[in-house]
Amino acid sequence: MEFTIGLESPFSLDYTLESGQVFRWARKGEWWYGEVSGGLLKARQEGGTLRCESSSDLLGSEFVRNYFRLDEDIEPILASIAKDKVITEAVQKFYGTRLIRQDRWECLASFVLATNANIPRIKKMISEICTRFGEQFEFDGSQYHSFPGPEKLASAPVAELRECGLGYRAPFLKRVATSVDQGGLDFGELVMRDYEESRKMLLTKLFGSKLLLGVGPKVADCVLLYSCDKDEAFPIDVWIARELSRSYPRIIPLQIRKKLTPEAKAKLTTGDYEKVSKSVRRHFGVYAGYAQLYLYMAARSSDGPGRASGGMARSPGVS
């Protein structure tokens, strides 16, 4: 079906789909093609309108509004996180970037795969899994695949998952899929409870063994922020960590800051993660997740793959 949506609050389709939250969108010319919710959604932005085409009536304007959270006015939200110069500049530069409300199971599975991988790789792994285990469907003469449900991946042989290029992530994905399939995790509960509680649910141990192997604090925060409406969640990945150490010396304890510099290869302990998480949430407020989104964009654009490495002054090592 075809439809258009009038945009009433700031929205940039390009920025939003390039912000690293989702992995199953691809740009072809003026259109974005997304394999979402078992179908295909095409979208392009023309100023204040969003033009869409989809493979199913289920992917209509109501779905799109919910998916991109278009009924929420982000203007006051962005104003509320603009606590300092750094975030204010990031917000101005990438104005209109939005949090996406994506499918919870797909989000969880995707970020379990995201450890120690870059975005092209993550996309490739997910694409392989969908090709092999998802349902095939046709749209506009091309073949696409849905994201396989937990029951499908729970019953998949680990060896086959490995063949999708998952490496050591294969057994983790299978175990997470099994947990979800057996009802070990109620996504509805996650949405109902507040941030702290639902985070505990994702991370806590149940019956003596960890419920979801492969889900640590960072992955948990991604799932909560990108799929469970927990806007104060602030996932701290390597990009954010560097950005914080560079631009927010005052809210990061010195001991931890030392570990965050690009030169130091030390990684955050879970204790460190919690401390930093608390300070940034204290600084940015209940919409810290939006701040994370914009800082991530800024970090990647200034120091990221988009530019030849000349730029950032690499301080002469004092080692």
Active site amino acids: 218
Is 121 a binding residue for DNA by CB under 7 A? The answer is yes
| Candidate residues 1, 192, 206, 266; the one interacting with DNA per rule CB under 7 A | 266
Interface region with DNA, contact rule CB under 7 A, candidates 52-60, 160-168, 182-190, 246-254? 160-168
Is 184 a binding residue for DNA by CB under 7 A? The answer is no
Strands 2-6, 136-139: pairing is unpaired
Is 215 a binding residue for DNA by CB under 7 A? The answer is yes
Is 246 a binding residue for DNA by CB under 7 A? The answer is no
Is 132 a binding residue for DNA by CB under 7 A? The answer is no
Is 116 a binding residue for DNA by CB under 7 A? The answer is yes
What is the C-alpha to C-alpha distance for residues 16 and 92, in angstroms, rounded to an integer?
A: 14
Interface region with DNA, contact rule CB under 7 A, candidates 31-39, 79-87, 89-97, 235-243? 235-243
Largest CA distance in the chain: 61
Q: How far is the CB of 3 from DNA (least distance, A)?
A: 28
Is 51 a binding residue for DNA by CB under 7 A? The answer is no
Q: How far is the CB of 176 from DNA (least distance, A)?
A: 9
Nearer to DNA, 5 or 220 (CB): 220
Is 302 a binding residue for DNA by CB under 7 A? The answer is no
254: number of Cβ within 10 Å: 7
Is 212 a binding residue for DNA by CB under 7 A? The answer is yes
The alpha carbon dihedral of 202, 206, 209, 211 has a sign of negative
Binding site for DNA (CB under 7 A): 19-21, 114-121, 124, 162, 165, 167-169, 172, 210, 212-220, 222, 235, 237-239, 265-267, 269-271, 296, 305, 309
